[in-house]
Amino acid sequence: MSWCRALLCTWCSSCPGGLGPRGAARLLTLRRLSTRPSHEVGTPGGFRPQRVAVVTKTTRYEFEQQRYRYAGLSEGELKELLALKGSSYNGLLQRHNIHSENVEHVVESLRKEGIEVRVVKRRDYDEATVRWADAIISAGGDGTMLLAASKVLDRFKPVIGVNTDPERSEGHLCLPVHYTHSFPEALRKLYRGEFRWQWRQRIRLYLEGTGINLTPVDLHEQQLSLEQHSKAHNSGGHQEQTSAAVSGPHLLPVRALNEVFIGESLSSRASYYEISVDDGPWEKQKSSGLNVCTGTGSKAWSYNINKMAPQTIEELLYIVKSHKNLNLTLDSNFIERVTNEYNNSLIFNPEEEKMFFSVREPIANRVFSSSHQRGFTSKVCVRSRCWDACMVVDGGTSFEFNDGAIVSITMDKEDSLCTVLLDD
């Protein structure tokens, strides 16, 4: 019997066209994967996962411990070493304990509801964990949320962020901070359907060209020097290096929730590349790098690249006023309103299927130009002419991007990330 007949048939195994128990299970799986989650707002029972993976961040205290673990330092010796660097051992330990207590609160809240929980450190978080879970909870800040999202390619698997140190972490991508200490309330809203799904659009990357390297370097948990970074990209043995012949395009196994940044590893060196926006003509550029962001990322690095300070707005308005003889009162309230209106125009809805590109500090002369320094786009193509460059996804995954490599930066609705917005 074909699957076409099976999809139209009833569940009864005695029927000549019936599926039987195993067939019914397969059909349920197919239906679940081919439609949106059934836990829409107002649906009885809301969203009630059976298995949840809680991905926790590595605190600065844990990082320092891991950093010197090979030296076999005692706690007292670690304390002395941190003091020499101007860091407070007691302060780091306090923040670590706050984070740990809030993680425990989330985990215990889930287990009291009969939910099976796996707690994984970010370094142990992998695709097998994602496949096991019905939902992913990131316990940390925005960086942990980005990491948790990076391995989720199933657009129907929710990812929920909990800010475990609200006093030291902004947590734009996390639930409102009061749920950090009252997570059972968030669970009740999920159960009752008092939320809506938010489908955050993400960026996909197609890499092609000569001599490309498809092996990603994970930058999480590390503060890599240029030397270490180069070794990570260029050391032999484990690299998946292609030949000098043209290769690709290859769809990279990561999706950018915030942004993609392309530039030389050494920030003082100008990045040289060619760029085409929305299949337009290629343009040679030199700059401090290129940032392409989503609506989610429009509040992050992209915003800080392009925002204007009140001082700049004030100076511009004085120039306009003097040239046009305008009768403007340039008081602080007016300048603040103009500044806020411009800066707010840089932010757009995370669910919009569009990107915003920004050329950082473009160099313009008779050879290089930047006809569009920033703007909305649906596609950006970049051909590298760089010496030691990287393409970094959400600040956590890096790909070598040197002379001859070409990347196509686009969006696809199938890559959207399922998150939740709880009702007030």
Give me the DSSP letters along 191-253.
HHT-EEEEEE--EEEEEEEES-B---EE-TT----HHHHHHHHH-SSS--B--SSEEEEEE-S
SS3 state at 18: coil
End-to-end CA distance of the chain: 50
The residue type of 261 is F
Q: What Å distances lie between residue 243 and 78, 276, 320, 387, CA to CA? A: 46, 25, 56, 18
Joined together, the tokens standing for residue 40 give 């829409």
List the chain pLDDT tens, one digit each, 424 residues. 333 323 333 333 333 334 444 444 433 433 343 344 544 433 445 899 999 999 999 999 998 888 877 777 888 888 888 888 898 999 999 999 999 999 999 999 999 999 999 999 988 999 999 999 999 999 999 999 999 999 999 999 999 999 999 998 888 999 999 999 999 999 999 999 999 999 999 999 999 998 788 988 888 655 433 444 445 455 443 444 444 566 779 999 999 999 999 999 998 999 999 999 999 999 999 999 999 999 999 999 999 999 999 999 999 999 998 887 778 888 999 999 999 999 999 999 999 999 999 999 999 887 777 788 999 999 999 999 999 999 999 999 999 999 999 999 999 999 999 999 999 8
d(CA 275, CA 197): 35
Six token digits for residue 44:
């009885």
pTM of the complete model beyond 0.85? no
> In terms of Cα–Cα distance, which of 86, 363, 410, 373 is closest to 255?
410
> Quick one: angle between helices 310-324 and 332-344, nearest 10?
110
